Amino acid sequence: MAQSMGSENRLLAALGYPIWVVALIVLLTDLKQNPFMRLHAVQALGYTIAWVVVAIGLGILTSLPGLWTLGFLVPLGYLAWFVLALFYAYRAYQGETFRIPVVSDVTARYTGSGS
């Protein structure tokens, strides 16, 4: 669902996905009063935290004896994170509100959107 939003708000919402610090700044300022901005800031931080957990898991997995050959998964994981972050940023810049599987379910209580 597209919303009529100022281009500055849409840009900040979009930048929160690849640059998590922007999302954090939104949550620490009065920008969080805007439901669109709050949704994307919380969702972007949740997305980043989820990928940090995945990266740690991949790091542990590839450090186990016999599984070090799976080390190629680590750079592929970072590439996947970046491509998805750009995709989500594009959608946010278009003024869309959307759900990220698993992440949106966890962050819903902080966005005021229910479930």
**3-class DSSP state of 2:** strand
pLDDT at 6: 82
pLDDT at 108: 85
Regions of the chain with pLDDT less than 50: 1-4, 115
At 3-34, the pLDDT tens digits run 446 888 999 999 999 999 999 999 999 988 99
As a whole number, the mean pLDDT across the chain is: 87
Q: For the chain, what are the domain ranges?
A: 7-100
Give the dihedral of Cα atoms 58, 60, 66, 72; nearest 10 deg: 30
The pTM assigned to this predicted structure is 0.84
CA–CA gap between residue 1 and residue 21 (Å, rounded): 26
Amino acid identity, position 34: N
